[in-house]
Amino acid sequence: MTAKKLGLKQRYAHMTRGLDWETSYQPMDKVFPYDTFEGIKIKDWSAWEDPFRLTMDAYWKFQAEKERKLYAVIDAFAQNNGQTGVTDGRYANVLKLFLTGISPEEYQAHRGFAYAGRHLRGVGPRVAAQMQSLDELRHIQTQIHTISHYNKYFDGLAEFPHMHDRVWYLSVPKSFFDDARSAGPFEFMIAIGFAFEYVLTNLLFVPFMSGAAYNGDMSTVTFGFSAQSDESRHMTLGIEVIKFLLEQHPDNLPIVQKWVDKWFWRGHRVLGLVAMMMDYMLPKPVMSWKEAWEIYFTEAGGALFQDLARYGLRPPKYADIATAEAEHISHQNWAIFYQYTHAAAFHTWLPDAKHMDWLSEKYPNTFDKYYRPRFEMWGQMAKEGKRFYNMALPQLCQTCQIPMGYTEPGDPTTICFRKTQFRGETYHFCSDGCKDIFEAEPEKFAQAWLPVHQIFQGNCGGATIPDVLNYYRMNVGADNMDYVGSPDEKLWNEWQADKIRTAV
């Protein structure tokens, strides 16, 4: 009689068991020094269920084939001058925002998962975190390669890593990941693995990738497809992590709840950049931010938190405020970038009449009432040669580092200010969510590197705006300011003229 065939799970267990061991000449607590201080209690690491059963051998094979396919598309895109076939020259600004604000966070995620993959004691989560670490490294590489083609033609892309580390608004995503990476390994897994890669990932990923598809950027779309099969693995890891922590010990629930509250709010703030991209920067919009929020957070997140309620976990604190803000956040963010266009690494513009009608239709409760009048006034001012620039440096929120331009919940004509005292100093916040986060860990957030404070302290190249822009390596007049009249626009118009000539 032949031996009974093993199931997939058993086969995987046989292939991977014994890859870990109890250390003998050093105590385990010294080898894994960081997996206890957060208060998370793990009774049985072996209860971890591998959410995907992928061996390293299969992983390499899989990723290698994906690379070959992606690079074939990127090459074809370059050879066919795909950059001339996108909907409008303005589209390149979406890529600038992505490359300066998102791609470096893929690298941060790579570093963070490498840390979790080193410091979690259980072999199952460690292997999963290590694989995700490699995925994230691959993602930033493929993003750089995909977008590098646009760098041959458009401004604002060349200095992306440098800018990420210095430019004021890029400190928003950067400080988000710095916060996660300087936390313990469990908090990192909840922050990035669960809150970001599961709860909020579709709000980041889908807008950029569908935006690319709608606007003729096939190379970025292909990158998106090549990443999506990794993303699904990351999502299952995020779910497994939260289940594992909640099932291991009842004392973990309040800790996990605190992290879910914190990282939901922090993630929601970072995604304000995506909201603005969706509503204002795509020449051909896919859907509004509000619609995306309804589908991906209200509905999908609602189903998720309904299931997690069985563990006693409640939906993130201030989720209701975030949902109400979906009516406002993109308009308020674009207004901030418009008035600080001289310090942004991408171009800005006012929505034209057709685009404003689209916004009216998508935001019937807020756009005409609060935001259209402002954009129309700025349009009028520009026509009169008085284009509005805000030359004062904004106050930043101590937690999310966004300029304090957001309004009170339920009152869109009053700016929201919150403050608190810590060690004799006053700290300022854009919202109750950000204030709560500070107050839970004031020692950490009091150390935040706030770009405006740093400028005033003389740490950013000098006392004048040109000094600071030089420190940012911003090529004034090319990387920043209005799209209209920019070298990008001139180039785009030449391409269009060429096309017409060729057609004739």
Partner 1 sequence: MSAHQLTIEPLGEEIEVAEGQTILDACLRAGVYLPHACGHGLCGTCKTQVLDGEIDHGEASSFALMDFERDEGFVLACTATIKSDVTIEADVEEDPDARKISVRDFVGEVVALENLTGDVKGVRLALRDGPIDFQAGQYVNLLLPGIAASRAFSIANAPSDAGHVELQIRRVPGGAATGYVHESLKVGDRLTLTGPQGRFIVRKSRGGPLLFLAGGTGVSSPRSMILDLLEEGYAEPITLVHGVRTQADLYGREEFEALARSHMNFRYAPALSHEPDDSEWRGERGFVHDVARKLFEGVFEGSTAYLCGPPPMIEACIATLMQGRLFEKHIFTERFFTAKDCAEKPKSPVFRRL
Phi and psi angles of residue 326, each rounded to the nearest 5 degrees, phi first: -60, -15
Judged by beta carbon, residue 225 or residue 417, the one nearer partner 1 is 225
Question: How near is the Cβ of 6 to partner 1 at its closest, in Å?
Answer: 9
Q: Under a CB-based contact definition with an 8 Å cutoff, are residues 306 and 315 in contact? A: no
Cβ distance to partner 1 smaller for residue 13 or 324: 13
Minimum distance between the CB of residue 65 and partner 1, rounded to whole angstroms?
A: 4
d(CA 263, CA 268): 8
The DSSP string of 431-489 is: SHHHHHHHHHSHHHHTT---HHHHHHTT-SS-SSHHHHHHHTT--TTTTSSBSTTSHHH
Q: In the block, which residue shows the tokens 């975030």? A: 322
Q: How far is the CB of 210 from partner 1 (least distance, A)?
A: 12
Closest CA relative to residue 223, chosen from 113, 148, 132: 148
Task: Give 209 or 281: the residue with its C-beta nearer to partner 1.
Answer: 209
Minimum CB separation from partner 1 for residue 243, in Å? Answer: 7
Residues of the shown chain interacting with partner 1 in the complex, contacts defined by CB under 8 A: 5, 7-9, 52-53, 61-62, 65-66, 69-70, 225-226, 228-229, 231-233, 235-236, 239, 243, 247, 250, 299-300, 302-304, 306-312
Exposed/middle/buried for residue 157 (C-beta within 10 Å: 0-12, 13-18, 19+): buried
Tell the smallest beta-carbon distance from residue 374 to partner 1 (Å).
36
- Please state, as a whole number, how many other Cβ atoms lie within 10 Å of the Cβ of residue 109: 26
In angstroms, what is the minimal distance from the CB of 237 to partner 1?
Answer: 12
**Of the two residues 4 and 152, which places its CB atom closer to partner 1 in the complex?**
4
What's the min distance (Å) between Cβ of 311 and partner 1?
6
Task: Supply the minimum distance, in Å, between the C-beta of residue 41 and partner 1.
Answer: 13
Residue 234 Cα to chain centre, angstroms: 15
- Cβ proximity to partner 1: between 155 and 197 the closer is 197
Contact 345, 96 (CB under 8 A): yes
Amino acid at 417: F
What is the β-pairing status of strands 411-415 and 407-408? Answer: antiparallel
179 vs 197, which CB is nearer to partner 1? 197
d(CA 155, CA 274): 20
As a whole number of angstroms, the distance between CA 422 and CA 438 comes to 10
Residue 492 token pair: 């785009």
Closest contact distance (angstroms) between CB of 258 and partner 1 is: 18
Distance CA 484, CA 280 (A): 15
- Closest contact distance (angstroms) between CB of 67 and partner 1 is 10
Integer angstrom CA distances of residue 359 from 197, 282, 327, 354, 355: 29, 13, 11, 9, 6
Are 114 and 133 a contacting pair, CB within 8 Å?
yes
Within 8 A by CB and 6+ apart from 27, the residues are none
Distance CA 219, CA 221 (A): 5
Cβ closest to partner 1, residue 62 vs residue 456:
62
Q: Which residue has 């299952």 as its token pair?
A: 236
Give the shortest CB-230-to-partner 1 separation in angstroms: 9
Distance between CA atoms of residues 220 and 491, nearest Å: 21
Structure tokens at 34: 């960081």
Phi, psi at residue 463, to the nearest 5°?
Answer: -95, -10
User: From the CB of 183, what's the least distance to partner 1, in Å?
Assistant: 23
Between residues 62 and 389, which has the closer beta carbon with respect to partner 1?
Answer: 62
Please state, as a whole number, how many other Cβ atoms lie within 10 Å of the Cβ of residue 366. 18
Cα 36 from Cα 29, distance rounded (Å): 9
Q: Tell me whether residue 300 or residue 324 sits nearer to partner 1 (CB atom).
A: 300
